[in-house]
Chains A and B, each alone.
Chain A
Amino acid sequence: EPEVTQTPSHQVTQMGQEVILRCVPISNHLYFYWYRQILGQKVEFLVSFYNNEISEKSEIFDDQFSVERPDGSNFTLKIRSTKLEDSAMYFCASSEGQGPQETQYFGPGTRLLVL
């Protein structure tokens, strides 16, 4: 069964450093998403992406965040200058279509720890 994969599974970085989190969505999916979950808190939407453009973003997704589809398979989330409060589990998801009824398929997550 096709699945969303994410690398790395864990990343530790120093405050102020740049990190890139990588995701490989399901191959025939066209819509991609990033969510995060700070320990003990809700899973929160960051951004959705379609046709090489951001479709929607939350207030969390400020100028230090960016997303890219550098090739036909990868989807990345870059945090330019990490802060302590960026420590969280980051989930990538993809869906075949767009719309509120569409199922989003999630990857296993990348646990980011900023020291």
Chain B
Amino acid sequence: AQSVTQLGSHVSVSEGALVLLRCNYSSSVPPYLFWYVQYPNQGLQLLLKYTSAATLVKGINGFEAEFKKSETSFHLTKPSAHMSDAAEYFCAVSDGNQAGTALIFGKGTTLSVSS
């Protein structure tokens, strides 16, 4: 069964600092991986996704993530945090080997950005 673990339920950074949000997955088949962001009172918005085309995936708002099969990781990074990045971030995996399309989510990481 697929699973996702997000290390750190809460990450705090200063404005301009590097953002690193960790995600490790468990999958018996090559996975499809997603990062979603949720701003207060809004739905989940796709930041980026990995579909095996390239290991380094660039997303919206300056975020990127690198798929590392040897580490079963898909960590999300941004070189310089902005106050508007404060939100909750969810890593998710989709089973690449079945017709169903259920996304399996991690518990989420709340990012706080201080000035």
Contacts and interface: CB of A to CB of B under 8 A. Distances in A.
A41 interface: yes
Interface stretch (B14-22, B36-44, B70-78): B36-44
A108 B107 contact: no
Interface residues of A, number: 30
B67 interface: no
Interface of B: 32, 34, 36, 41-46, 49, 51, 90, 92, 94-108
A58 to B, nearest CB: 7
A101 B51 contact: yes
A99 B100 CA distance: 7
B101 A98 contact: yes
A43 B43 contact: no
Given A56-B100, A98-B99, A98-B101, A91 B51 contact: no
Given A100-B32, A103-B49, A58 B102 contact: yes
Interface of A: 3-4, 6, 31, 33, 35, 41-45, 48, 55-56, 58, 91, 93, 95, 98-109
A3 B96 CA distance: 26
Given A100-B95, A101-B94, A108 B42 contact: yes
B100 A42 contact: no
A3 B43 CA distance: 10
Contacts of B45: 106
